[in-house]
Structure 1
């Protein structure tokens, strides 16, 4: 019997999906790819393969899970299996540079960004970079490596005191800091390549913006429930009747890049200019925001997977 095969490395993030699949009566199999075997001489099973591998897997001790996933997807695609968020989507998940170059092809504005390898080269590039700026990891997720600096001297002190943690792939990014007067960003969620809803995220407490209910970052937890103590507004809030010309561009981008499920984040500055800065092909949803709005992302994902499975 054909099944849905969920490829991932994080049981907590997938628990809501597994529950939704069970509620929809969808047969599925859990492929946790922290370690494993890709039997290249065998024939893959029939079914729908949903890739949920995360760029932040190394932060959970799963350093080579993306590489193993790439081997797995290569095998599956070589045999003509239905893969959702396949190798190209994985490549974009693992590289902000790849994301930005792909977004620019669709006339989607990104912040000014420079990719750098080497600490001395990072400081050299910062000399001529607009201030303030942020550093971030090329292979990231969960806001890993994001720090704001007002000057090159501040970055140099940060480096010299051993606080700079390099990206797991060695590539660091310098990026212009976009100031949002409302201290929010907007994340647009897409299921089946089509817009589902937009969620406003309060960034007043920092850059670690994982929407999942169970999302550990180091020794801290994402504040995904309750309200921000300063503003008393929800950390995550689904925007009703959200409309933007970016939606059509995002959908065209997702179709061109072979991305079936995604969350895309953008920020608007004081002059009304909007910059897209992150594409998440391993998307999660905030349960409090969804309950308030009466919209459930994983339920929609499960229904799409059920529909794709019926075509096999």
Structure 2
């Protein structure tokens, strides 16, 4: 699908067929021309021409759930080529490198002095029992690259872990890396997802999933009978500052960070960085405003900045 003419200054690479309809509609309302690109064709690594001076990545880590021949690693090389060709890729290679590794996310968060769940990272199933003994029970084993709660299993004893190893029923990750992680009892059974735009706080929602691991808040994730509930919240300044620090360190132009309050000690534990923010379902009902409008406002300014750089004009701040 291509919107507007080939000379549009904005291109959007996306994979999910439904999540970005509201974004496209908001751009159309503002009269901002763009090319909407879907993975599916070969690219020439020697091609010097990116699709547009400004590219927005809307690539979801859950892509592997929808297509066995997913574009996640293909896109890493594609974004690198576009950046080398002079395009500005929003949520480009630096952000994608963080998005594609929960282990890297946790290391980044811990390097900022923030708390994470106790974790061990392994690449062999045989190493999981020893890692589990080091963590203690209950625990979860999760895929290094997941999405929509995929690749997460809870274990309550070492016997259960050993049986899963013997039966080859442990979760798997498309990169072969697994995390063995403390099962944190989240206070009130809820997690908080804090969204950022251009490294700054945008909004936060409290999500309860009835014990489920899939806490995707978007329209396309909501199905009849879903136990997920969402409510807007205003996190305290410390949490907002922490999330903005994570967004800066992760090179997130747009993205969400998930945190839960450990009911054992009241400590906020950050555990997930998600560069794919498709925003909350029914935003007018939950938030009272539509974050797509603010995203489009920032895209318009990014476009202006890109055009100014192309014409040799320095932005005045």
Q: Which residue of 1 aligns with 2:279?
A: 285
Query: Per chain length, whose mean CA-contact separation is higher, i.e. which structure has more relative contact order (CA < 8 Å, sep 6+)?
Result: 1
Q: Deviation at 1:227? A: 7.7
Q: Deviation at 1:277? A: 0.2
Q: Which residue of 2 aligns with 1:298?
A: 292
Q: Which residue of 2 aligns with 1:165?
A: 171
Q: Does 1:102 align with 2:98?
A: no
Q: Deviation at 1:16? A: 1.8
Residues of 2 paired with 1:236 and 1:34: CA distance? 34
Q: Map of 1:84-233 to 2, 5 A cutoff?
A: 84-215=90-221, 222-223=222-223, 228=227
Q: Map of 1:1-20 to 2, 5 A cutoff?
A: 1-20=7-26
- The answer to whether the 8 Å contact 1:184/1:202 transfers is yes
Residues of 2 paired with 1:227 and 1:12: CA distance? 18
Q: Which range moved further: 106-115 or 43-52?
A: 43-52
Q: Which residue of 2 aligns with 1:218?
A: none
SS of aligned partner of 2:205: strand
Q: Does 1:266 align with 2:272?
A: no
Q: How many residues align?
A: 299
TM-score, normalised via structure 1 length: 0.89
Q: Which range moved further: 48-57 or 193-202?
A: 48-57
TM-score, normalised via structure 2 length: 0.87
Q: Deviation at 1:45? A: 4.1
- Against the structure 1 CA distance between its residues 237 and 36, is the aligned structure 2 distance closer, same or farther, given a 3 Å change threshold? farther
- The answer to whether the 8 Å contact 2:10/2:52 transfers is no
SS of aligned partner of 1:127: helix
Residues of 1 paired with 2:47 and 2:197: CA distance? 33
Q: Deviation at 1:46? A: 3.8
CA RMSD after TM alignment: 2.0
Residues of 2 paired with 1:171 and 1:290: CA distance? 39
Residues of 2 paired with 1:53 and 1:101: CA distance? 22
- Against the structure 1 CA distance between its residues 129 and 45, is the aligned structure 2 distance closer, same or farther, given a 3 Å change threshold? closer
- Per-residue CA deviation, residues 57-107 of structure 1 (Å, 9 max, x unaligned), is 111115341222112111111122121111010011110111111112222
Residues of 1 paired with 2:230 and 2:259: CA distance? 14
Give ranges in structure 1 of 5+ residues lacking alignment: 216-221, 229-233
Give ranges in structure 2 of 5+ residues lacking alignment: 1-6, 308-317
Q: Which residue of 2 aligns with 1:231?
A: none
Q: Does 1:22 align with 2:23?
A: no
- Against the structure 1 CA distance between its residues 242 and 44, is the aligned structure 2 distance closer, same or farther, given a 3 Å change threshold? same
- Which of 250, 261, 270 is the matching residue for 1:276? 270
